[in-house]
Structure 1
């Protein structure tokens, strides 16, 4: 059975490159914590999140990034991105739902992504999504905000 090792260091390096607007010394003002959890429905039908390091194909994994403003000044227009690992497929679930998606990591649009095929607009398959980004309009001083996306191990 194919196993997938969660590459936290690669994701952290990518996420750490999130762009910040309207703040000096942003790297000192923002702390980010990334978690990877398996998404499981329990017997009562409630969603349970369990920390995971490896997972077989078909497993749903949620990547959640918690951003904390560590200074006594608000951060405005904070743009954060989460990559979708190459051996994972985005499920279409993003929190908050205001996320924009990209197939190339450069051009973003509201979901679902669309393209023209034979003169008709069609949805781009989630398997082609490579990154999601969110604009956190305001992150108050000493407060936190979280973003998350769900993927399936290929």
Structure 2
């Protein structure tokens, strides 16, 4: 039961954060739908996605946001952000793979994130990533764009 409540709270927090993007668009021209799906490998090695009503430690959850332009004109340069829920660790897998990441919620950079440690440039651990951002260059009228990131339950 704890895992279900956690997942529900994480999904709500992610939805609220992602919906804040809509504030910058007049007349609600951009709608967002968020799905959380557990990634399961079938016996024949194929990948299956099932609604994540609960998740246990170590399971992989994909957060997929569909952004739909609901007006009759194109929208240019839409920046969309998905936070990585607390108690989840980003796996490094995104679609599209053009996402930028942040460890502080303010400064975004291309992945992998790098920093200097003892005079050497090293990769920032994925466990420190807090959110991802994509720039949708063009979203035509009445069309949709999907972004997703995979996480593991910590």
> Would you call these one fold, judging by a TM-score over 0.5?
yes
Partner of 2:80: 80
- Give the structure-2-normalised TM-score: 0.92
Q: Contact 2:22 / 2:28 at 8 angstroms: preserved in 1?
A: no
Runs of 4+ aligned residues of structure 1 deviating over 6 Å after TM superposition are none
- Compute the displacement of 1:42 (Å): 1.3
C-alpha distance in structure 1 between counterparts of 2:23 and 2:148, whole Å: 18
- Compute the displacement of 1:53 (Å): 1.9
- Compute the displacement of 1:2 (Å): 6.5
C-alpha distance in structure 2 between counterparts of 1:91 and 1:131, whole Å: 12
C-alpha distance in structure 2 between counterparts of 1:20 and 1:91, whole Å: 29
Residues 83-112 of structure 1 deviation map (CA, whole Å, 9 limit, x = unaligned): 001100000001100000000110000000
- Give the structure-1-normalised TM-score: 0.92
Partner of 1:45: 45
What's the Cα RMSD here?
1.7
5+ unaligned residues in a row in structure 2: which ranges? none
Partner of 1:15: 18
Number of matched residues? 151
Higher helix share: 2
